[in-house]
Structure 1
Amino acid sequence: TKGFTKLFPKVKDEDRGKFSALSTKEIRTYLKWLGVTTIELLPVHAFFGHQKGRERTNYWGYETLSYFALENSYLKNGETDDFKRMVKAFHENGQEVILDVVYNHTIEGNHLGPTLCYRGIDNESYYTLNKTNKRFYFDSTGCGASFNLQNPNVLTLVMDSLRYFVQEMHVDGFRFDLAATLCREKTEFKYDCAFLKTLKQDDVLRQVKLIAEPWDVGNGGYQIGAFPPGIAEWNDRFRDVVRRFWRGDDRQVGEFASRIAGSSDIFGYNNKNLWSSINFITAHDGFCLRDLVSFEEKHNEANGENNQDGNNDNWSSNAGVEGLIASKTIKNKRLRRAKNLFSTLMLSFGTPMILSGDEVLNTQFGSNNPYAQDNVISYIAWDAIESEGYEFARFARTLIKLRQSLPIYKMTHFFKGQKSDKSPYKDLAWFTEKGGEFTASDWQDMSRKMLSMLAYDGADLIYIIYNGSAKKTAWKLPPVKKAKNWEILLDTSKTFKPEKLDESEEISVPAECIIAMKITR
C-alpha cells in the first residue's frame, strides 16, 4: 500500500501511503493499462509499525496485533470506509483484491515481548508452548511464538477474521504467510489439520481464492505441494531454477523444463489444476528484479544488523560490476537478462505473480530484506524512473497482453507429454537445437543451457526457444505436420531477423534470449 503510492505522481499529499491513494483514478488506470488482474496487498491488519522505543520500524506489517482492525496509518481519517472504497474501486476496474494475512504469530513475540492482548488473556490457549518449559514457546515462525490454531477458540478467531474481510470488506481472497505453521498439530505439519478442514468446509471461504506460502522455519516445515486442491502455493523452486538458468549455471535444464511447464511433479496429483503453482521471480522479501541483475551480494546495512540478515542464496548476477552504476554495455546485458527473467515468468504455465515496481525496473539499492525500511529503499521512486524503466514497462505490458491473448494459457489441466485421440501432436514436447526431441542423454547433459518447447492445446501450437548460453546458436526448427506459418510473438534480443522461418531451414538464435512463435496450420 505505502511503497506503491507514497511517491506516485498526481496523488494528493493527504492520500499518499494510504488506501485512498489506491482508489484514485490515476493508479487504477495505470494498473489497468499494465494488464494487472489481481492486486495482493502486504498485511493490512493493525500492526502499529512505528512503536516507541523500538530500534527498527515494522514496515512490512508482519507483526499483527488485531485481526479485525485495519492498520490505522493506512487510513486517511481513521475511517474503515477508505478500505471498502478501495476494494470497490478495484472491482469496478475489473480487478480483484487479495490480502496477505499473518495468523502464524503476533506482535507479542516470545517471552521477552510485550503483553498487549493474547498473552495477557490466555497465554496457554493462544500460543503453542514449549513442551518442557511452559515459560517459553514453540516457534516455527522465526518470530518468537507460534499462534495455536489447535485450540478451537483460536481457530474460530481466525475463521471469523477471514469471513469478516470477505463479507464486510469484500476482498477476493487471502495469501497465508508461513502457512505450514497454521497446519501444525502437536508441533508437526498435518495435511488433515483442523485449519485446512475448516477452511475448505466453510461456505464463505471456499468460494474465494486461497494461496499458501507452503513453508515455515520449523522442522518439517517445507511443505510445497502438500496443500489440498483449491489452495494455490508459492513455488520457490520456480523462482530459484529460473534465476540459475539465466545466470548460466550448469545442470539446470531438467528442472527448468519442469517448472515452466507447470510443475506437475509437485502439483499434478490429488485433482489439483495447472493454476496451483504461483510462479514468481521476485517478491517483497528478496531482491527486486533490477537488483537481481545488478548485485551479487546483499546490501542490508541500513537494517542495523551488520548485513547479517536476509538470504545469502540469491542466485543473482551483476554482469561484471556490482551496483547500479555501470557502462552502457553492462546495462544492456542486464536489461536483456531482466527481459528473459520476466518473459520466462509470463510464458510459463501456472499463475504468474509480479512484484510491483519490477515493471519499471525500480531498485531497492541492493537490499534483499527491507522489512524495516519505511523510506525510499522500499518506496517506488516513480519520478526517478529512467528511460529504460519506461521501455521495460511497455515490454512488460506487451508480455502480459500476449499471455492473455493466447488460449493455451487458460488451460487448467496438466500436460501429459502424449498425443490425445486423433491429435497429430503431443500436448507438450521438448526439442534440442538440432530439431529432434530430447533424449535421456540430452536431459543428463550437465553443461546444456538451451532447450525449446512445443505446446498444443487442441487448437494453438506455441513454440518457444530458451537459449541460456552465451553464444549464438544454429537452430533447426522441429518438424511440425501441416505447418504453414511460424509467427514470431517475442524476441528478447531484438536482433532475431531470419530470412525464412521454415522447419527445413536452420536459423541463427542470438545468445541469451527467448524466441516465442505461434504456428498456424
Structure 2
Amino acid sequence: MRLGASVEADGVHFAVFSAHADRIELCLFDPAGIQESQRLPLPGRTEGGVHFGFVPDLAPGALYGLRAHGPFAPHEGHRFDASKLLVDPYATRLDRPFLYHPWLAAPPERRIDTAPLVPRAVVEDLSRDARPLPFAKPGFTYELPVRAFSQMRPDLPQRLRGTLAALAEPASLDHLTRLGVETVELMPLAAAIDERHLSALGLTNAWGYNPIPHGAPDPRLVPGGWPEVRRVVDALHARGIRVLLDVVLNHSGESDRYGPTLSYRGLDNKSYYAASPDDPDALVNDTGTGNTFALWREPVARMALDALKNWVEIGGIDGFRYDLGTVLGRTPEGFRPDAPLLQMIAADAVLKDRVHVAEPWDIGPGGYQVGAFPKPFLEWQDRFRDDIRRFWRGDAGTVSALATRLSGSPDLFDPKTRVPSDGVNFIDAHDGFTLRDLVSYETKHNGANGEGNRDGHGDNHSWNNGAEGLTRDPGILERRRRDVRALLATLFVARGNPMIVAGDELGRTQGGNNNAYAQDNETFWIDWPAADDELIAFTARLQRLRRALPSLSLDRFLTGETVEGEMDVVWLRADGGEMRPEDWADGNRALLGLRLAGGSEAALVYFNRGWQPLDIHVPEPASGRSVWLELLSDRPEAEPRPFDIGQVLTLGARSVAILREG
C-alpha cells in the first residue's frame, strides 16, 4: 500500500503509519488553507499499523493535515496530542514553510490548536518518469548551498535569487561549466524548520539540516515544487553535470522531548525515534540534534527509502550524500554494514544504480566508521582534509601522511574490495572554515551564532599567515593566496574524487565563522561582486589538467608496484633520487615529489611547504619522451612550456609544480 496521498480517478486515497495511535483523523482545509473544513477518521487499519481511507471526488491541490489520537504517556514513549496538527511524513508539497513557535511544543493540557502554525500538505498527482544520468563516480564535485549560492548574484533576476531555479540560469550554468564541475552536490532541499534557540536569537538556519518531512521540497528554496526540481536537474544534465542531493535521514526537526510536535512525534513517537532502554522519553542523540530515527525498524526505514525514491523518480536526482551516514547503519547493537536500511538501498531497483556518498560518522558510540560502509557507498574523507591541512600548516612529520592521502587513502579502504574513487577528498566543507578562512584565521570566530563561541570545531589545523583575519598587509595577502592555490593543487592531484565548496574558487570568506549554519545572511552568502576571477581561472585550469593527464586520476591506489612496465609511483627528493627511509623519517622535511605512471604519459608533482624556494632536479624522462612544465601554483599566470631536463626547476616557497612527461 502506497503511503501518503494517492490520486485516483474518482478521489484520493490516504494512508499513514502509526503502530500505537488509537485512531488517525484526516483534516481537510479550504483552498486558502485557513479554515479546517472537514475532519474525517481514517477507517481502515492494517495489521502493520497503516491507517487508511478514501475521500471521493477530492482532487489534486487539496490541502490536508493529520491528527493522531492516543495516550500522552511520555514514560511509555507516547506523545499523542490531537490538538497538534501534523504534517504527513509522505507529503510531497507544502503550502508554506515551517516557522518555529513555542506553542508547537505546548503540553496537551493547554489544548492549543496548532493548525494556524503548521504547513498544510498539498495533494499532488506527480509523474514518476524522470531519467537520471547513467551511473558514474562523482569526479570533481561542487558542494552547493542553494540559497547562499545565488542570493548576492547581481546578474540573476531578483525573483530567482536564493532559489533552486537560479541554477538553471545561463550565468550559473556557465560558471559551473567553466570550472569543469562534473557533479553538483546540493545541500538539503527538503522542507526544514529552524532550531528553537535560533528564534530567540533572531537567527535562521542557513543549511537546512532540520527536515520535516523528507520528501517535500522547501517552499523557500523551491517555490515551484517538483516541476522546478526537475527543470533545474534537466538543465544541469544538459551540461553533462550530475546532481547529488544532501539528505538528512538520521533525524527530524522535532528535536528532543522539549521540541515541537509537527509530524513523527505526534504520529508515533515510540516507533519513529530511538530512545534509551531505561527511559522511553529520553531520545537517543547520536546526531547532536536531539533525536535519532530508529532506522532499523521497517516502517522508519521504508519512509527513508521512499523519500529517496521520490527525489530520483520525480526529480531526476542522480544520487545522494547522506548526512551523518553512520546512523543509517545503526541498530540497537551499534553500527552494522549489513543494517536493514543499507541493505534496502543497495537492493532497491530504483536506487541501487544511483550514487551514494556517506558522511561516515556521527557523534554516538562507535560513530566513526570511515572505510566500513558496504558497496555501493562512497565515503567522505576527513582524514584527507586534516592531513593535507597539517602538511601545509607545517606540522612536523606529515610528509608520510601527505603521501598516503595522495595515494587514495589505502590505509582506510581495503584495496582488495575498494578503489580510490570510493573516497571523496576535500580540504573544507560547509561545516567549517572556508578555504580562504583556513589560511586567514588560527581560531574560530563564531560570536554571531549566539553561543559564546563555544560552537563549531575547535581544532581546525588552520593558520593565519601573520595576522588574524582581515588585513591590508600585501605580503600577508599574497601568502594567503599562495596557500589557497597550493591547497587546491594538492586536492586535484590526489587519487579519489575532489570536492570543493561553492565559493572556494572565488575567495569566499565567512569572517572566521566555522559554523555558519545560523547565518542566513551576508556571512554565509557568496559575495559574487568580490569574486577573485584569477582564482576561478586557476581552479578551472587544475580540473582541465586533471582530465588531460590520466595519471592524475587513475582509479587505483598508489603502491609502488610495477604496472604496465613502470612503477605506478616513485617518491622523489629534490636531487632527483628516490625517497629513502631516513627521508620519510625526517620530521622537518618540507618537500615531497612523485612521478605518476599513466600509460603513454606520466605526471611529476612537487610540493614545497617551506618558506624558501627549492632547486629541483627533475629525473630523466623515459626513452623518447619530453617534459612540459604544466603548472606552477605560485605563478598561476605562467603558461605551459617545454622543460629542459638539463635545467634546474626552482620551486617557489609554499607551492606546487605539475609537469607532464610524454
Decide: shared fold, TM above 0.5.
yes
Query: Which of the residues 397, 419, 426 maps onto 2:540?
Result: 397
Q: Distance in 2 between matches of 1:497 and 1:88?
A: 36
Q: Return the offset for 1:383.
A: 1.5
Q: Which has the larger radius of gyration?
A: 2
Residue 383 of structure 2: aligned partner: 237
Deviations 1:429-466 (A, max 9, x none): 11111222122221111111211011112222111011
Q: Distance in 2 between matches of 1:171 and 1:390?
A: 30
Residue 33 of structure 1: aligned partner: 178
Deviations 1:197-235 (A, max 9, x none): 111111211111110000001111111111123311110
Letter in 1 for 2:563: S
Residue 119 of structure 1: aligned partner: 265
Q: Return the offset for 1:67.
A: 1.2
Q: How does 1:189-268 map to 2 (within 5 A)?
A: 189-268=335-414
Q: Return the offset for 1:413.
A: 2.5
Change (3 A) 1:122 1:98: same
Q: How does 1:40-189 map to 2 (within 5 A)?
A: 40-49=185-194, 53-55=199-201, 56-76=203-223, 78-189=224-335
Q: Distance in 1 between matches of 2:291 and 2:195?
A: 21
Which secondary structure state, in structure 1, belongs to the residue aligned with residue 477 of structure 2? Answer: helix
Q: Distance in 2 between matches of 1:500 and 1:13?
A: 48
2:488 matched to 1:347?
Answer: no
Which secondary structure state, in structure 1, belongs to the residue aligned with residue 570 of structure 2? Answer: strand
Q: Is the 8 A contact 2:493 2:553 kept in 1?
A: no
Q: Is the 8 A contact 2:404 2:410 kept in 1?
A: yes
Q: Distance in 1 between matches of 2:165 and 2:176?
A: 15
Q: How does 1:398-413 map to 2 (within 5 A)?
A: 398-413=541-556
Q: Distance in 2 between matches of 1:408 and 1:498?
A: 18
Which secondary structure state, in structure 1, belongs to the residue aligned with residue 280 of structure 2? Answer: coil
Residue 479 of structure 2: aligned partner: 333
Q: Return the offset for 1:39.
A: 0.9
Q: Return the offset for 1:116.
A: 1.1
Residue 86 of structure 2: aligned partner: none
Q: Is the 8 A contact 2:442 2:462 kept in 1?
A: yes
2:129 matched to 1:9?
Answer: no
2:651 matched to 1:509?
Answer: yes
Residue 429 of structure 2: aligned partner: 283
Q: Normalising to structure 1: TM-score of the pair?
A: 0.95
2:638 matched to 1:493?
Answer: no
Q: Return the offset for 1:184.
A: 0.8
Change (3 A) 1:290 1:420: closer
Question: In terms of mean alpha carbon deviation, does 330-339 or 67-76 score higher?
Answer: 67-76
Letter in 1 for 2:176: L
Greater strand content? 2
Residue 414 of structure 1: aligned partner: 557
Q: How does 1:301-320 map to 2 (within 5 A)?
A: 301-320=447-466
Q: Return the offset for 1:48.
A: 3.2
Q: Is the 8 A contact 1:268 1:414 kept in 2?
A: no
Which secondary structure state, in structure 2, belongs to the residue aligned with residue 87 of structure 1? Answer: helix
Q: Is the 8 A contact 2:250 2:293 kept in 1?
A: yes
Identity %: 37
Q: Is the 8 A contact 1:128 1:148 kept in 2?
A: yes
Q: Distance in 2 between matches of 1:283 and 1:90?
A: 22
Which secondary structure state, in structure 1, belongs to the residue aligned with residue 607 of structure 2? Answer: strand
Letter in 2 for 1:446: G
Change (3 A) 1:253 1:134: same
Deviations 1:367-391 (A, max 9, x none): 1100011100010111233xxx111
Which secondary structure state, in structure 2, belongs to the residue aligned with residue 453 of structure 1? Answer: strand
Question: In terms of mean alpha carbon deviation, does 476-485 or 65-74 score higher?
Answer: 476-485
Q: Return the offset for 1:186.
A: 0.7
Letter in 1 for 2:615: A
Greater helix content? 1
Q: Distance in 1 between matches of 2:226 and 2:200?
A: 27
Letter in 2 for 1:327: D
Q: Is the 8 A contact 1:310 1:368 kept in 2?
A: yes
Q: Return the offset for 1:504.
A: 5.6
Q: Return the offset for 1:161.
A: 0.8
2:578 matched to 1:437?
Answer: yes
Q: Distance in 2 between matches of 1:202 and 1:125?
A: 23
Q: Distance in 2 between matches of 1:178 and 1:497?
A: 43
Q: Is the 8 A contact 1:498 1:507 kept in 2?
A: no
Q: Is the 8 A contact 1:60 1:371 kept in 2?
A: yes
Letter in 1 for 2:571: W
Letter in 1 for 2:604: Y
Q: Is the 8 A contact 1:97 1:171 kept in 2?
A: yes
Q: How does 1:269-280 map to 2 (within 5 A)?
A: 269-280=415-426
Q: Is the 8 A contact 1:250 1:447 kept in 2?
A: yes
Q: Distance in 1 between matches of 2:644 and 2:267?
A: 73
Query: Which of the residues 470, 480, 503 maps onto 1:324?
Result: 470
Deviations 1:61-114 (A, max 9, x none): 1111101111110133x5431111111111112111110000111101111111
Question: In terms of mean alpha carbon deviation, does 146-155 or 261-270 score higher?
Answer: 261-270
Query: Which of the residues 470, 474, 489 maps onto 2:611?
Result: 470
Q: Distance in 2 between matches of 1:435 and 1:144?
A: 56
Q: Return the offset for 1:270.
A: 4.5
Which secondary structure state, in structure 2, belongs to the residue aligned with residue 134 of structure 1? Answer: strand
Q: Distance in 2 between matches of 1:259 and 1:418?
A: 17
Letter in 2 for 1:5: S
Which secondary structure state, in structure 1, belongs to the residue aligned with residue 510 of structure 2? Answer: coil
Residue 292 of structure 1: aligned partner: 438
Q: Distance in 2 between matches of 1:265 and 1:505?
A: 37
Which secondary structure state, in structure 2, belongs to the residue aligned with residue 86 of structure 1? Answer: helix
Change (3 A) 1:50 1:217: closer
Q: Distance in 2 between matches of 1:222 and 1:335?
A: 33
Q: Is the 8 A contact 2:370 2:381 kept in 1?
A: yes
Which secondary structure state, in structure 1, belongs to the residue aligned with residue 611 of structure 2? Answer: coil
Letter in 2 for 1:492: S
- When the two structures are aligned, how many residues end up with a matched partner? 514
Which secondary structure state, in structure 1, belongs to the residue aligned with residue 517 of structure 2? Answer: coil
Which secondary structure state, in structure 1, belongs to the residue aligned with residue 236 of structure 2? Answer: helix
Q: Distance in 2 between matches of 1:11 and 1:500?
A: 42
Q: Distance in 2 between matches of 1:103 and 1:38?
A: 21
Which secondary structure state, in structure 1, belongs to the residue aligned with residue 265 of structure 2? Answer: helix
Residue 503 of structure 2: aligned partner: 357
Q: Return the offset for 1:409.
A: 3.9
Which secondary structure state, in structure 1, belongs to the residue aligned with residue 518 of structure 2? Answer: coil
Q: Is the 8 A contact 1:467 1:511 kept in 2?
A: yes
Q: Is the 8 A contact 1:230 1:272 kept in 2?
A: no
Q: Is the 8 A contact 1:268 1:274 kept in 2?
A: no
Change (3 A) 1:507 1:94: closer
Q: Distance in 1 between matches of 2:349 and 2:570?
A: 41
Q: Distance in 2 between matches of 1:103 and 1:121?
A: 17
